[in-house]
């Protein structure tokens, strides 16, 4: 058996939670606000929307795609070392990228390599929360998740100010210093020591892929839905500044609109958490998931309509962000409801990769369409269609589960008895479902 060697839900745990929020802001949050550099890169290199869009889309797409690898690395080296190393990698890449002479260099360094670093830091920093919280674990995860929404509120106007004052090169160097604060965050996130006795070798390994899911219809539908989700979200986020500036808004106005995007994203995450927690409906997480994804698609299309007022674009961006936040908050609970707690990490690993593939190609495809037809509106229409279809694909899931479509039971060594996993593993993230109802 295994025993924890720390007191949970108090003291250092709350400092770790605060550090987790900061980690989301300076890690994933900065990746999201890379869209502030899209127009300066477009103007500086003159490569067109298609090539320029690859930088941000690859960054966030790779962040999703490396999820399983990030879990393995964190399990091997521990949260603290993984987080510090990932921050050093991302920050260094941003510094080197500031000297880039072509788009290809930015795609590789600012996109792929830094995105991989962000992915490792995200998984490590988010996962350790479960180590320090038991009674308040659900609340702790909800608070940590708001970091992604808080980031645009702070970093979007800051990035625009830095770009205006120091050009995109200087802004990247300064922002690298912000990202490197992840090293301080990592220093706070001490890996809790755990004593283990008499564990079979197969029970000490971190969870791995479960091939039985491939035969499960709801799992396959969710993979399709997540690919369409990434495909639709990518142009909406990456082309945001370009689209609004094409509608006559200034760069500062677009920056403030994205700050509003961040505020409503946080509201959406908290609203979804409340709705799911009430459990008014069976499979409440799934219902929130497909409704919010479909609505995100609708508001993406509405956001794309050209020639509207500043108030209109702020309003549509707000609704879009709110539904987007609800979608992200419903994701883990959907996995638990569909596949059970013993497959939470396995399922989410596959879905992260599915979303990553869609996110990588979504913005460049939207940029290509915008270049070909001379309008970013079509990219938003296409993204909205992908999101809406991806949401509708999920509608049958409650019916399928309620009428006997079951996934084969997982082997014991894949069950979420994370008290049995060896020291240094990300038990917290994998056991995040502890605050969720058993399926």
- Structure confidence by residue, pLDDT tens digits, 158-182: 998 999 999 999 999 999 999 999 8
Residue-range domain boundaries for the chain: 2-435
pLDDT bucket at 143, cuts 50 / 70 / 90? confident
**CA 223, 226, 230 angle in degrees (round to 5)?**
140
Tell whether the model's pLDDT for residue 423 goes beyond 70: no
Task: State the average pLDDT over residues 286-310.
Answer: 94
- Which has more confidence, 108 or 156? 108
Instruction: In whole angstroms, give the CA distance from residue 70 to residue 426.
Output: 10
Q: Would you state the structure tokens that stand for residue 299, as one six-digit string?
A: 């508001």
pLDDT of res. 197: 46
pLDDT value, residue 422? 35
Backbone region of residue 433 per phi and psi (left: phi > 0; alpha: psi in -120 to 50; beta: other values): alpha
Q: What is the mean pLDDT of residues 362-389?
A: 94
Given this model, what pLDDT does residue 179 score? Answer: 92
User: Alpha helices, DSSP H only, in 78-136?
Assistant: 79-97, 103-106, 114-127, 129-132
Q: Determine whether 190 is exposed, middle or buried from the number of CB atoms within 10 Å of its CB (0-12, 13-18, 19+).
A: middle
- pLDDT number for residue 41: 95
Confidence of residue 428 (pLDDT cuts 50, 70, 90): very low
What local confidence, expressed as pLDDT, does residue 110 receive? 94
- Give the pLDDT confidence score for residue 205 in this predicted structure: 47
Q: Rounded CA gap, 26 and 151, in Å?
A: 7
- Assess whether pLDDT exceeds 90 at residue 99: yes
In this model, does residue 92 exceed pLDDT 70?
yes
**Terminal CA-CA length for the chain:** 25
Query: Mean pLDDT across the stretch 85-97?
Result: 94
Residue 5 CB burial class (10 angstroms; 0-12, 13-18, ≥19): exposed
Please state, as a whole number, how many other Cβ atoms lie within 10 Å of the Cβ of residue 305. Answer: 14
Task: Give pLDDT, residue 404.
Answer: 59
Separation between Cα atoms, residue 358 and residue 57, nearest integer Å: 9
183: which residues sit within 8 A by CB, 6+ positions away? Answer: 83, 84, 87, 88
Q: What pLDDT, on the 0 to 100 scale, is given for residue 321?
A: 94
Residues 139 and 135: their CA atoms lie apart, in Å, by 9
Higher pLDDT: 138 or 129? It is: 129
Can you give the pLDDT at residue 334?
A: 82
pLDDT band at 330 (very low <50, low <70, confident <90, very high): confident
Higher pLDDT, 201 or 335: 335
Task: Categorize the per-residue pLDDT at 318 as very low, low, confident or very high, splitting at 50, 70 and 90.
Answer: very high
Question: 412-438: buried (b, 16+ CB within 10 Å) or exposed (e) per residue?
Answer: eebbbebebbbbbbbbbbbbbbebbee
What is the rounded average pLDDT of the residues 1-14?
66
- Tell me, what's the pLDDT at 381? 96
pLDDT over 80 (residue 269)? yes
Residue 376 confidence (pLDDT) above 90 = yes
What is d(CA 132, CA 122) in angstroms, rounded to the nearest whole number? Answer: 17
For the domain with range 2-435, which CATH number is right: 1.10.3720.10, 3.30.479.30, 1.20.1250.20, 3.40.190.10?
A: 1.20.1250.20
* Poorest-pLDDT segment among 27-41, 85-99, 141-155, 308-322: 141-155
Contact 38, 239 (CB under 8 A): yes
- Quote the CA–CA distance of 439 and 342 in Å, as a whole number: 10
In this predicted structure, what is the pLDDT of residue 132? 82
408 pLDDT higher than 60 = no
Regarding predicted confidence, which is higher, 46 or 346? 46
Tens digits of per-residue pLDDT, 27-74? 888 999 998 999 999 999 999 999 999 999 999 999 988 877 887 788
pLDDT, residue 204, reads: 46
List, in sequence order, the alpha helices (H) in 137-250: 137-179, 182-188, 217-238, 240-246
pLDDT at 417: 38
How much is the average pLDDT of 4-21? 78
Average pLDDT over all residues of the chain: 82
C-alpha torsion sign, points 357, 363, 364, 368: positive
Instruction: Give the residue from 77, 342, 356, 413 showing the smallest Cα distance to 231.
Output: 356
Query: What pLDDT band is residue 232 in, cutting at 50, 70 and 90?
Result: very high
CA dist., res. 121 & res. 32, Å (int) = 15
Q: Count of alpha carbons within 13 Å of 107, Cβ hemisphere only?
A: 14
Per-residue pLDDT, averaged over 87-109, amounts to 95
What pLDDT is stored for residue 315 in this prediction?
94
CB of 264 closer than 8 Å to CB of 408: no
* Torsion sign over Cα 345, 349, 355, 360: positive
Considering the chain, what percentage of its residues have pLDDT values greater than 70? 84
């Amino acid at each position: 058996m295994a025993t924890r060697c720390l007191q949970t839900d108090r003291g250092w745990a709350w400092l770790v939670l605060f550090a987790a929020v900061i980690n989301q802001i300076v890690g994933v949050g900065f990746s999201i606000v890379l869209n502030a550099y899209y127009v300066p890169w477009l103007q500086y290199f003159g490569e067109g929307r298609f090539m320029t869009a690859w930088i941000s889309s690859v960054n966030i797409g790779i962040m999703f795609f490396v999820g399983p690898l990030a879990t393995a690395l964190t399990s091997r080296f521990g949260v603290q070392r993984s987080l510090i190393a990932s921050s050093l990698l991302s920050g260094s890449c941003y510094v080197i990228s500031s000297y880039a002479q072509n788009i290809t260099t930015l795609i590789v360094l600012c996109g792929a390599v830094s995105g991989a670093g962000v992915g490792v830091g995200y998984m490590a920093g988010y996962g350790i929360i479960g180590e320090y919280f038991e009674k308040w674990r659900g609340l702790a995860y909800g608070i940590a998740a708001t970091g992604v929404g808080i980031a645009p509120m702070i970093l979007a106007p800051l990035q625009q100010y830095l770009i205006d004052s120091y050009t995109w090169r200087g802004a990247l160097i300064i922002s690298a210093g912000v990202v490197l604060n992840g090293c301080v965050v990592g220093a706070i996130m001490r890996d809790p020591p755990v004593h283990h006795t008499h564990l079979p070798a197969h029970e000490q390994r971190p969870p791995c892929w479960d091939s039985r899911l491939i035969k499960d219809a709801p799992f396959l539908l969710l993979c399709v839905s997540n690919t369409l989700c990434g495909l639709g979200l990518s142009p909406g986020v990456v082309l945001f500044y370009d689209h609004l500036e094409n509608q006559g808004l200034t760069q500062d106005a677009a920056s403030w609109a994205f700050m509003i995007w961040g505020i409503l994203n946080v509201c959406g995450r908290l609203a979804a958490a409340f709705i799911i927690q009430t459990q008014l409906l069976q499979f409440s997480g799934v219902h929130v998931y497909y409704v919010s994804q479909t609505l995100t698609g609708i508001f993406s299309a509405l956001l794309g309509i050209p020639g509207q007022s500043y108030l209109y674009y702020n309003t549509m961006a707000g609704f879009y962000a709110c539904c987007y936040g609800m979608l992200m908050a419903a994701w883990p609970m959907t996995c638990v409801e569909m596949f059970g707690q013993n497959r939470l990490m396995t399922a989410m690993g596959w879905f992260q990769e599915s979303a990553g593939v869609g996110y990588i190609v979504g913005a460049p495809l939207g940029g290509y369409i915008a270049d070909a037809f001379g309008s970013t509106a079509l990219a938003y229409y296409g993204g909205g269609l992908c999101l809406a279809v991806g949401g509708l694909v999920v509608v049958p899931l409650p019916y399928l589960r309620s009428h006997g479509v079951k996934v084969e039971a997982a082997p014991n060594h894949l069950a979420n008895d994370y008290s049995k996993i060896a020291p240094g593993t990300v038990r917290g993230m994998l056991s995040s479902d502890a605050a969720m109802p058993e399926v």
